[in-house]
Amino acid sequence: MSLDPHFDDAHGTGEARRAARQGAGVALATSAYGISFGALAVASGLDVWQTCVMSLLMFTGGSQFAFVGVVGAGGIAAAPAAIASAALLGVRNVAYGMRMSPVIGRGFWRRAAAAQFTIDESTAVSLAQKTPHARTVGFWVTGIAIYVGWNLSTLAGALLGDVLGDPRAYGLDAAAAAAFLALLWPRLRSRQPIVVGIAAAVIATVLTPMLMPGLPVIIAASVAILVGWFNWLGDDRPAEEPADVAEREGLP
């Protein structure tokens, strides 16, 4: 192992180490949400094993929170809406997969394994790096670390759910909303996403008292689909590459 930073930077190992550190830091912070999910899932009526299987197989926090939130509010009758809401939120991972394809590389088994770890955080950490090797390291370290941490914290939250009692008494029910706001806020940089966010929030708020849980979210999502399809209030300029954005904003 070289101790010369100039040698490391020349060979990309310095960038790779920074990517690994960033991924580990993001994983540590993100995994903590798993405790909240585990407790909320048990409070919504799921068994411990059902909660853990959901994290093992679904592994997308937004969709998981959406599912247990809708089921918790509407019971078994709301299951179809819960599934639709979770699936709708999971569609974004398809777009991530297409963007991450050059980073992952070729090979069926490599791509199959990467599909499980293609989430918001692994994509963001990877695309924030400057070199191809660092992007690959950032993706795998972040994805695998979050997967392990998320599932361990889910189990812990589910086991502690009965001991804690109602998770709303501790404010754990706000964790999902906080996570969504954290993902949304950095994207509110132009007129189009701001208008979409406000319109969707108004529609969901108005429809919530009138419709079954989950349906207002699905209907509100149609706003984003329509605006994106017709590119209303959008910018016709070509999208910037992550490296260009990082350089413009002074990111490391």
Q: Is the pLDDT of residue 4 over 50?
A: no
Q: Is the pLDDT of residue 1 over 50?
A: no
Whole-number Å distance between alpha carbons of 211 and 104 = 42
Whole-number Å distance between alpha carbons of 105 and 114 = 10
pLDDT at res. 240: 47
Q: Is the pLDDT of residue 160 over 80?
A: yes
Average pLDDT over residues 124-135: 90
Residues 222-239: b if buried by 16+ CB within 10 A, e if exposed: ebeeebeeeeeeeeeeee
20 pLDDT band, cuts 50/70/90, is: very high
Torsion on CA atoms 41, 66, 95, 243, rounded to nearest 10: -80
Q: Please state the pTM of the whole predicted model.
A: 0.69
Higher pLDDT, 172 or 221: 221
pLDDT at res. 3: 44
Q: Is the pLDDT of residue 183 over 90?
A: no
Whole-number Å distance between alpha carbons of 1 and 13 = 10
Average pLDDT over residues 117-132: 90
Segment holding 64, helix H or strand E: helix 61-74
Q: Which of 2-6, 184-188, 232-236 has the lowest mean pLDDT?
A: 2-6
Helices (H), 165-251: 175-184, 191-207, 215-230, 242-248
Q: Is the pLDDT of residue 6 over 50?
A: no
Whole-number Å distance between alpha carbons of 239 and 249 = 15
Average pLDDT over residues 117-136: 90
Q: What is the pLDDT of residues 65-81, one digit of tens each?
A: 878 877 766 666 566 76
Please check whether residue 114 is in contact with residue 100, taking contact to mean a CB–CB distance below 8 angstroms. Answer: yes
Q: Is the pLDDT of residue 2 over 50?
A: no
pLDDT at res. 56: 94
**Which residues are within 8 A (CB) of 217 and not within 5 positions of it... i.e. 6 or more apart?**
66, 70, 85, 88, 204
Q: 191: which 2 tokens?
A: 């007129």
Whole-number Å distance between alpha carbons of 123 and 143 = 9
> CA torsion sign, 60 to 238 to 187 to 146?
positive
Residue corresponding to tokens 């918001």: 120
pLDDT at res. 161: 76
pLDDT at res. 23: 92
Mean pLDDT taken over the chain? 77
Please check whether residue 214 is in contact with residue 70, taking contact to mean a CB–CB distance below 8 angstroms. Answer: yes
Higher pLDDT, 94 or 158: 158
- Integer angstrom CA distances of residue 24 from 2, 137, 146: 22, 11, 8
Q: What is the pLDDT of residues 79-116, one digit of tens each?
A: 676 677 677 666 777 878 888 999 998 889 999 999 99
Higher pLDDT, 37 or 182: 37
